[in-house]
Amino acid sequence: MNSHYKKITLKQFNEDFNSAVEIINVPILKPAPNEILICNKYAGINAGFDTLACRNKIPYVDLTLPFDLGVEAIGEVVELGENVKEIKIGDAVVTTLRGGYCEYRTVDAKLAVKVREPTPEILTLMPTGVSALIALEQVGEMKSNETVLVTAAAGGTGHIAVQLAKLAGNHVIGTCGSEAKTELLKKFGCDRVINYRKEDVNQILKQEYPQGINLIFECVGKQLFDTCIDNLAIRGRLIVVGSISEYTQYPEKVLQPRIYHKLMWKAASIRGFLNPLYGEYIESAQNKLLDLFYKNRIKVAIDSTQFKGIESIPTAVEHLLNGKNCGKVVVEF
């Protein structure tokens, strides 16, 4: 085993991810009595969080520099602390902690989730799939026999949200921006796919869904957010999951009547979602998603573009921000 490993850390605040980060070599730490040492095989890319962190725009995180970047990673346990009993050397584990862009990491054994194999598909379930499940069920109060709209539906979070809404017995609409993504969403059971590069989303919704949309899982922001608000049904719920259209720029300033003029007359609502603020649901959501995945009731999409090594992470972040991905973007170490 190596004596050192590489990781990505935020060295300075900057608009550009590549200029803000650096790759450093650090010693591999021997695990304390309650810890395990993991050799990571894959890490998931969270370009929105990464970009906002580089700009110091995440209010709920103390961004004291240097700051380790990345979240979810999966690998194999290579060393145990003397008090660890539930995990064995060679076990596959997932971690969803700050600092996932690293080749090795030492963590408290209780913070690692055992899985069958260290495959990249699991990184689509945790934490992105977990976010989709909690947002839909706890925040959106998802029911059956409703019309559900998922924006950025072919992304890492969106394609899981589509399948969960279908499993709950709903009619599901998904928006995306390419033919490849359209075909992916059809494969996952999406009832109506709207390619916004070829069709007008607002026009389609008004023509085909005149009663409005009951539940909206919104990840994009800007004009698409406005369109979603305009097409909410009576007592419709919109979950703000992200705003990827504004991650690479400052928030757009708009001048229009305040939002309550559109919401009150429909008794509709907008509900914000942030995964760390729903921590009490995470473990049960992880268990449910793994069970659905192992029973082949949900499938995951890994973006076909290969990124290998720590050095490829800035390129992977740019790839996702530019909307080139089809499914979850992962990096192989």
Same domain, 186 and 100: no
307 and 161 Cβ atoms separated by less than 8 Å: no
Cis peptide preceding 59, ω within 30 of 0: no
pLDDT value of position 260: 93
Q: Among residues 258, 231, 259, 228, which one has the least CA distance to residue 242?
A: 228
Per-residue pLDDT at 28 exceeds 70? yes
Residues 108 and 233 occupy one common structural domain: no
Q: What average pLDDT does this structure show over 212-241?
A: 97
User: Is pLDDT at 261 greater than 80 in this prediction?
Assistant: yes
pLDDT at residue number 175: 97
* Same domain, residue pair 216 and 141: yes
Q: What is the mean pLDDT of residues 84-101?
A: 95
pLDDT above 70 (res 75): yes
| Pair (142, 192) in one structural domain | yes
User: Is the distance from CB of 165 to CB of 129 less than 8 angstroms?
Assistant: no
Question: Could you tell me which residues come within 8 angstroms of residue 331 by beta carbon, excluding any fewer than 6 positions away?
Answer: 42, 43, 45, 101, 307, 308, 309, 310, 312, 313, 316
The CATH code of the domain that includes 245 is 3.40.50.720
pLDDT band with cut points at 50, 70 and 90 for residue 57 = confident
Per-residue pLDDT, averaged over 224-234, amounts to 97
In a domain, 271, yes or no: yes
- The whole-number pLDDT of residue 248 equals 65
Return the higher-pLDDT residue of 184 and 1: 184
Task: Report if residue 182 sits inside a domain.
Answer: yes
How far does Cα 101 stand from its chain's mean position?
Answer: 15
Share of the chain above pLDDT 70, in %: 98
Angstrom CA distances, 160 to 29, 86, 151, 184, stand at: 36, 30, 12, 12
β-bridge pairing 21-27 and 213-218? unpaired
Judgement on whether residues 86 and 203 belong to the same structural domain of the protein:
no
pTM of the model: 0.88
In this structure, what CATH number is given to the domain that contains residue 92? Answer: 3.90.180.10
10 with 105, same domain: the answer is: yes
- Please indicate, yes or no, if residue 294 is contained in any of the structural domains: no
Which residues have C-beta within 8 Å of that of residue 81, sequence separation ≥ 6? Answer: 31, 32, 33, 34, 35, 36, 109
Within this chain, do residues 103 and 165 fall inside the same structural domain, yes or no?
Answer: no
Residue 313 sits in the same domain as residue 265: no
Are 61 and 143 found together in one domain?
no
Report pLDDT digits (tens) over 31-45.
999 999 999 999 999
Q: Which position has the token pair 């700050």?
A: 98
Confirm whether 289 is domain-assigned: no
**Is 93 found in the same domain as 34?**
yes
Q: Do 132 and 233 have their domain in common?
A: yes
Check pLDDT > 70 for residue 242: yes
- pLDDT of 244 above 90: no
Structural domains in the chain (count) = 2
Average of per-residue pLDDT across 170-195: 96
Structural domain span for residue 36 = 4-118+302-332
Q: Is residue 69 part of a domain?
A: yes
Q: Helix, strand or coil for residue 224?
A: helix
Question: Are 107 and 152 in the same domain?
Answer: no
Say whether pLDDT at 297 is over 80: yes
